[in-house]
């Protein structure tokens, strides 16, 4: 039991550090200046695929806490409470829930297909959080939010789902070989 708890703690810390490390890498799509393409979604899904729901949520909660206290861990190196209340805050706030959903739905084992399915559910949570927040505070219609805040990102995010599922399956296999994960 101690090994499992230590493994989860270490993986949660690694996931929080990893999402912070990839967050500065971003680019904007032509005509979509409000929301950048980042690798954060990939790490959220990976955390969910590697950790139980509470640990995945804790990892993403730690990430949000680090940004809230002023460490430059959000997209583009931004930080602070203003980011957590800004136009893209819904995406950030969805990360703990998305990681928990993936963790809850990801079956034991190392198969790509079931992991990818769980990660698609997590991606839906992220889209609902981000688009929902933008719709509530942005004064735009739902159709405008969906076409500007969700649809342009689907191809990129489907690639992230695939990469995260492959990565989680590989890490699960490696942990199973070492006896740190029962599959």
Question: Is residue 1 scored above 60 in pLDDT?
Answer: no
Helices 154-178, 40-50: inter-axial angle, 10-degree rounding? 30
| pLDDT for the residue numbered 46 | 96
Q: Which residue has the higher pLDDT, 142 or 64?
A: 64
Question: Is residue 180 scored above 70 in pLDDT?
Answer: no
Mean pLDDT of 131-154: 91
Question: Is residue 183 scored above 50 in pLDDT?
Answer: no
Q: Which residue has the higher pLDDT, 5 or 1?
A: 5
First-last CA distance in the chain = 16
The H-or-E segment that residue 32 falls in is strand 32-38
Q: From the options 1.10.1760.20, 2.60.40.1180, 1.10.620.20, 1.20.140.160, give the CATH code of 2-178.
A: 1.10.1760.20
Q: Where residue 181 falls among pLDDT bands split at 50, 70, 90?
A: low
Q: What is the pLDDT of residues 66-94, one digit of tens each?
A: 999 999 999 999 999 999 999 999 999 99
């Amino acid at each position: 039991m101690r090994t499992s708890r230590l493994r989860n703690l270490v993986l949660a810390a690694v996931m929080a550090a990893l999402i912070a490390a990839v967050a500065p890498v971003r680019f904007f799509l032509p005509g979509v200046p409000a929301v950048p393409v980042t690798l954060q979604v990939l790490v959220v899904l990976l955390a969910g695929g590697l950790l139980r729901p509470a640990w995945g949520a804790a990892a993403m909660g730690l990430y949000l806490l680090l940004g809230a206290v002023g460490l430059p861990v959000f997209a583009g190196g931004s930080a602070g409470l203003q980011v957590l209340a800004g136009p893209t805050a819904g995406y950030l706030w969805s990360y703990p829930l998305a990681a928990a959903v993936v963790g809850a739905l990801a079956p034991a084992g190392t198969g790509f297909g079931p992991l990818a399915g769980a990660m698609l559910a997590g991606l839906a949570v992220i889209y609902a959080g981000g688009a929902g927040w933008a719709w509530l505070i942005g004064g735009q219609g739902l159709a405008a939010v969906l076409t500007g805040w969700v649809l342009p990102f689907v191809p990129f995010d489907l690639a992230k789902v695939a990469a995260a599922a492959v990565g989680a399956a590989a890490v699960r296999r490696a942990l199973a070989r070492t006896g740190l994960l029962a599959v």
